[in-house]
Amino acid sequence: MADRALPRTAALACVLRFNFLGKQKRREERERGAEDGVRPRVNTFSPEGRLFQVEYAIEAIKLGSTAIGLKTKDGVVLAVEKRVTSPLLEPSSVEKIMEIDEHIGCAMSGLIADARTLVEHAFRVETQNHRFSYGEPMTRESSTQAICDLALRFGEGDEESMSRPFGVSLLIAGHDENGPSLYYTDPSGTFWQCNAKAIGSGSEGADSSLQEQYNKELTLQEAETIALSILKQVMEEKVTPNNVDIAKVAPKYHLYTPAEVEAVIARL
């Protein structure tokens, strides 16, 4: 055993040295960054001034299920396509519209797991912190801003940050003392206030239909019908209470029961 120790130690030394060299080489590569054609770091600009990861994330959302939001003077309506891929799947477990606080709800499109993280950690925690500190509901704009603050915290080096951006777009329906509102966020961390918006795979067709059909005098009922009819246009399957979800914030968040969804489908 003793005479085998020497070669073994030598082998170990070689492996260690190899590893050490490898680490150094990788560190140098990282430091060189975007020069000489090496792939740029995740959160740095390309030479043309683009953030590739953010753009790729926006592309990822175009594969996600469609979601539509419409704002009326009485409240905001959200409708999503559940995309139930198998009859064995339990439809009520597919949650693509979530409640953030009593007066805010959001619909998601893209990587649903990312959306869950965003909603849970950023949104729900922030709104409850606000209630704890100030004893009042958070305004819809500052809660939307709180989510977007988290969107750009990605990159290498820091264990705190993620390795890639969130691949999710949100439609945030809210109601506060300034009335109802609809916000749309994307992976770049920007948000826009909209009267109506569609996101996901069917968004282009849905957006142009919304432009034609939307007007500011819609009632909540009319908005429900419009949202569902547009969803029907862009969905491949027939619309049933099991493969769509509708929710409204008017002024409190309410997720429709299958019976209520059935009632809206009947009006189509």
Partner 1 sequence: MARFDPYENNGGTCVAVAGADYCVVAADTRLSVGYSILSRDHSKIAQLADKCVLASSGFQGDIKALQKALAAKELIYEHNNNKKMSCPAMAQLLSNTLYYKRFFPYYTFNVLAGLDTQGKGCVFTYDAVGSYERTGYSAQGTGSALMMPVLDNQLKSLVLSYCQLRTFNTKLLLVQDAVTPLSESDAVDLVKDVFASATERDIYTGDRLEIVVINSSGTHRECIELRKD
Among 117-125, 136-144, 152-160, 253-261, which window interacts with partner 1 (CB under 8 A)?
136-144
128 binds partner 1 (CB under 8 A): no
Candidates 12-20, 48-56, 138-146, 260-268: pick the segment binding partner 1 (CB under 8 A). Answer: 138-146
138 forms part of the interface with partner 1 (CB under 8 A): yes
Q: State how far the Cα of 250 lies from the Cα of 237, in Å rounded to an integer.
A: 29
Number of residues binding to partner 1, judged by CB under 8 A = 10
Among 29, 136, 158, 237, binds partner 1 (CB under 8 A): 136
The verdict on 142 binding partner 1 (CB under 8 A) reads: yes
Our finding on whether 24 is near partner 1 (CB under 8 A) is no
DSSP assignments along 2-40, one per residue? HHHHHHHHHHHHHHHHHHHHHHHHHHHHHHHTTGGGPPP
Candidates 117, 145, 161, 240; binder of partner 1 (CB under 8 A) is 145
The string of DSSP codes covering 68-107 is EEEE-SS-EEEEEE-----TTS-GGG---EEEEETTEEEE
Through-space distance between the first and last CA atoms of the chain, rounded to whole angstroms: 83
Answer left, alpha or beta for residue 55, where phi above 0 means left and psi between -120 and 50 means alpha.
Answer: alpha
Please state the closest distance from residue 178 (CB atom) to partner 1, in A.
Answer: 9
Which residues of this chain interact with partner 1, rule CB under 8 A?
A: 132-136, 138-139, 141-142, 145
